Structure 1
């Protein structure tokens, strides 16, 4: 077995590969005849099954408090049901690599949300520059001034998915992340709730023109078990063993992995403008994580900083959203 220092790159690489490949599996499943809603339902159900097994093995139970289940309903919608569906919807017209890049804007939405709700009390010049730079990179990717730009309903759906993650992280930080909570049990319950929510929409979903291919079914099974269920467990283990900085580093690798896999497996062509935009977005996100000494000092009598851009985003997400916004240990870390 690998020792601590040597095992860290392996854990990080494996997690980045599993998380970053999620956009590839979605694209393959769509191409094989599965609809966005079907992908979402199967993904949530399989992810929940994996987490239920892991929770049982760890001796963790799902919550019994009705109030907790009420919060899980909101979290499941914004963190799983809605973004999972929007990513599948967006990838009907947008390449999987671009989807991974736009997913990396989640920390920017988290910071912007904190500013709008005035829960982000301190924003130094570097973090402000990072926020502006990050959204400038997103604009560069969209390039609405060019005919070859990505300004389309599919790209907007992907951005909405990233923003949905930001809303979910803020809500969960306030209502679900507590020191006495069982993370595996809560996440299993959350994905079970998401499965129920998406299943309710099934009667309104259009039926596929043909039966899904074996390749599509395999892709969505991998997406649900490895890309959704197992990744949560690996991320939790990485944070526990190496700290939140290592988990945050994985977040920077996700768009790189998605772009590389899209090009190698699907033959997607990512132009220099999109690559440049990705680099600008990641630099911007990195700057938003910067905290001066005064930023780290709590305000006496201040409200909980649950909407700050450094809210632990890795906890309870079971999603491919990067942990870029996780700059300090959370309750489960």
Structure 2
């Protein structure tokens, strides 16, 4: 190993270890699934751009299509599931403890390869594995059992440590699965494909809430912005300008609305949405055969139901579709 490769390895270790600190900071505000969906989504976008810039588009798409299922599975095992488990663990444990538990990844890789791929383990390797697991246990035992941290109980700390351990084990499973099913595929395609698969898995679980400007984007690209499609971009430009102004005076605006009575703020929001709500209800109730499903969709959405970190809009749509399915079956 030359000095450049050693420096790259150290940099990679620093970046990977530093991610646990950022997860610890962000998970309490974003939530487990939205934060991890944002993480893999940004990674997938970057890797796909790099992939298509270095490979012919037809060749890259052909490989992704041909190996779609293995890439999707590895995306779950190597990104979506362990990322969420580590993030959930860091709601209780510190970033240092979870990063130390993550150090068991190569140990689990050797164990899984021995069980699944029948790789040989010499006596010296077995001793090394035992020493490695014992070392990690000695480093995290004090905080997990004696000092759970942040007022958490020993039981919750132990469950968090177990989740982190399972996450590290999944990395080992992913490595063996990749060796068996993705041998011969170049690493860049594997990285881009698996990250895309992880994004598809996590996208429904709350990541849609990260896009705070979805309504503004819909308005700026709609016919109300300009009748000529080629001139609608000006609406997005002005929207961006006003967003910059609002961001500059964000603290002042927030303090102003915080000083208003809550009833007044709710009334202003209701008046602002009144036209959209009435227009949507009018269009939804026009067809008598779909009226009940539309009403149930509206009621569930208005209830504010949140389940699995997914907002009421999604569950309202699910309830409406199920209602329409049942009614169509009865009418048939």
Question: Retained in 2: the 8 A contact 1:81–1:198?
Answer: yes
Question: Retained in 1: the 8 A contact 2:34–2:205?
Answer: no
Structure with the larger helix share:
2
Partner Cα separation in structure 2 for residue 65 and residue 148 of structure 1: 47
Q: Which runs of 4+ in 1 moved over 6 A?
A: none
- The residue number in structure 2 matching 1:131 is 129
Distance 1:26-1:63 versus aligned 2 partners, 3 A rule: farther
Query: Cα deviation per residue 1:125-148 (whole Å; 9 max; x = unaligned)?
Result: 210101111222233234389533
- The residue number in structure 2 matching 1:44 is 40
Question: Retained in 1: the 8 A contact 2:109–2:172?
Answer: yes
- The residue number in structure 1 matching 2:118 is 119
Q: 1:184 aligns with which of 185, 188, 195?
A: 188
Q: CA offset at residue 73 of structure 1?
A: 1.6
Distance 1:118-1:81 versus aligned 2 partners, 3 A rule: closer
Q: 1:12 aligns with which of 1, 9, 29?
A: 9
Query: Cα deviation per residue 1:18-72 (whole Å; 9 max; x = unaligned)?
Result: 22211111112124x1101011100111001111121122125244465511111
Unaligned runs of 5+ in 2: 149-153, 213-332
Q: CA offset at residue 199 of structure 1?
A: 1.5
1:110 aligns to 2:115 (yes or no): no
Unaligned runs of 5+ in 1: 212-333
Q: 1:152 aligns with which of 153, 158, 182?
A: 158
Distance 1:156-1:63 versus aligned 2 partners, 3 A rule: farther
Question: Retained in 2: the 8 A contact 1:26–1:91?
Answer: yes
- The residue number in structure 2 matching 1:30 is 27
Relative contact order (C-alpha < 8 Å, sep 6+): which is higher?
1
- The residue number in structure 2 matching 1:56 is 52
Partner Cα separation in structure 2 for residue 55 and residue 65 of structure 1: 11
TM-score, normalising length: structure 2: 0.54
Q: CA RMSD in A?
A: 2.8
- The residue number in structure 2 matching 1:196 is 200
Query: Cα deviation per residue 1:240-279 (whole Å; 9 max; x = unaligned)?
Result: xxxxxxxxxxxxxxxxxxxxxxxxxxxxxxxxxxxxxxxx
Partner Cα separation in structure 1 for residue 140 and residue 83 of structure 2: 21
- The residue number in structure 2 matching 1:84 is 83
193-202 or 154-163, which deviates more? 193-202
